[in-house]
Amino acid sequence: MFKTAKGRHIGRPEVLKRHFHGPIRFPGSDWQWWLADDESAHEAAQRMDHHLQGREKNRVTTLRERKGRSIFRLQGNQGDFFAKEIALKTLRKRLGAWLGVQNTLFGHDHGSAEVDNTLTLDRRTRQGLEVLCLGEYLRGGIPTRQLLIQPWLDGWIGLGDAFEAADEHGRHSLLYRMEALLKAMHDARICHLDINIDNLMVSTRDHETPLRAIDCAKMETQVTQPAVSTALQIGKMLRELYGRDEAGFAARYAQARAMQRRIAGREGDNDATDTLLALSLRYRLSKNLSRRKLVTASFINIDGPALEKRVRASSKNTDMPAIVWAHSHPAMSDEVPAYSGH
């Protein structure tokens, strides 16, 4: 049995009202739940709710607790579930979650934002993952904790693990499918700001199944510079897959440029994207460069040496040799063969 939490729609994000019904409450619970129109959503919410009340100890496993986020695996009758609990530590993030607003003031990584981003990615690309329900623990009508539940991807592993285990043919297939996903995000004007080798998932059962992107808390769904977004994502993914070995940098750069041309076309292949490909291949950019500002800018004017100086200020990048620039453009050998990808 459960009861509807009356009056809880007022002021709530449209994404919750548009994609879910509710909110509902289970007896004796301080949590309310928004449920998708899926028969497994009720089971998942109830199982997690019982766990939060201390009544479900054997079928919920805590996988990780870190930085205000807890990850769980729930055993279901027809399949398992993935759950992520998010602590909203500041008032501004609580208000952002309540209103469903994503910006610098209210934050970009609360549960309401992740639901919206996840559903937007899946709707536009069909390479995301559905959301079954969102739970909320309220104080004074404002959420202080949120809990996202999705299907468990049984038989899927991270791209990094798949790439490491694959032979040359298998790696070729993985790169081709990664490129297809990046193409889908380019066309959908989406930038996954936390894209990495663990957040792109690979099916171990069907080697032709498209990749899926997960963990969408940090994402921009209103990209105005899709070619820039693509360059940043290509560079990061190739860096994580191959490492930052200086000896292979020219080959990786040629590979990245070829991939950029196939995804973004001639208009998306220019000095700015070349510069960002080189920077993201060599350096970790997240701490010293706002990628969100770059991909949502009204126009792009990239100064490669100046950007490199900024990112090299990070202790994570000081060990890397500096890029050789020719008139603010990366100076690379034209003799390095480009990866064909086909």
| CA dist 239 → 179, 227, 232, 235, 249 (Å) | 14, 18, 11, 6, 9
**pLDDT tens track for 259-292:** 999 999 999 999 999 999 999 999 999 878 899 9
- Judge whether 337 lies within some domain: no
- CA 197/CA 155 separation, integer angstroms: 17
The answer as to whether 51 is a domain residue is yes
- Both 105 and 192 in one domain: the answer is no
Q: Are residues 112 and 163 in the same domain?
A: no
In this structure, is residue 340 part of a structural domain? no
- Nearest by Cα to 299 from 247, 250, 246, 228: 228
Same domain assignment for residues 141 and 188: no
167 and 279 share a domain?
yes
Domain end call among 124, 151, 178: 151
**185/89 same-domain check:** no
Same domain, 270 and 188: yes
Over residues 41-81, the pLDDT tens digits come to 999 999 999 999 998 778 999 999 998 899 999 999 989 99
DSSP state for residue 103 in the 8-state scheme = B
In a domain, 304, yes or no: yes
Last residue of a domain, one of 151, 185, 219: 151
Give the CATH number of the domain where residue 8 resides.
3.30.200.20
Q: By three-state DSSP, how is residue 158 classified?
A: strand
Count of domains for the chain:
2
Nearest to 48 by CA among 58, 56, 37: 56
Q: How far apart are CA 235 and CA 207, in angstroms?
A: 24
In tens digits, the chain (342 residues) has pLDDT values of: 555 555 455 557 788 888 899 999 999 999 999 999 988 999 999 999 999 999 877 899 999 999 889 999 999 998 999 999 999 999 999 999 999 988 989 988 899 999 999 999 999 999 999 999 999 999 999 999 999 999 999 999 999 999 999 999 999 999 999 999 999 999 999 999 999 999 999 999 999 999 999 999 999 999 999 999 999 999 999 999 999 988 899 999 999 999 999 999 999 999 999 999 999 999 999 878 899 999 999 999 899 999 999 999 999 999 999 999 887 789 875 434 443 343
Which ranges of the chain does DSSP label H, i.e. alpha helix? 14-19, 39-52, 91-99, 111-125, 159-165, 168-188, 226-242, 249-264, 271-282, 291-295, 304-311
Is residue 141 assigned to a domain? yes
Residues 173 and 300 occupy one common structural domain? yes
Q: In this structure, is residue 325 part of a structural domain?
A: yes
Count of other CB atoms within 10 angstroms of residue 38: 14
Domain boundary among 90, 123, 151: 151
Q: Are residues 21 and 43 in the same domain?
A: yes
- 114 and 232 housed in the same domain: no
Q: Is residue 43 domain-resident?
A: yes
One domain, residues 21 and 66: yes
178 and 139 in a single domain? The answer is: no
Q: Which residues sit opposite 107 in a β-bridge?
A: 103
How many residues are recorded in the chain? Answer: 342
User: Are 269 and 303 spatial neighbours (Cβ–Cβ below 8 Å)?
Assistant: no
Same domain, 234 and 194: yes
Cα–Cα dist 342/333, whole Å: 23
Q: Which domain holds residue 325?
A: 158-330
3-state secondary structure labels for all residues of 290-320: CHHHHHCCCCCCCCHHHHHHHHCCCCCCCCC
CATH number reported for the structural domain that contains residue 309 in this entry = 1.10.510
Q: Is residue 53 part of a domain?
A: yes
Phi then psi for residue 182, to 5 deg, are -65, -35
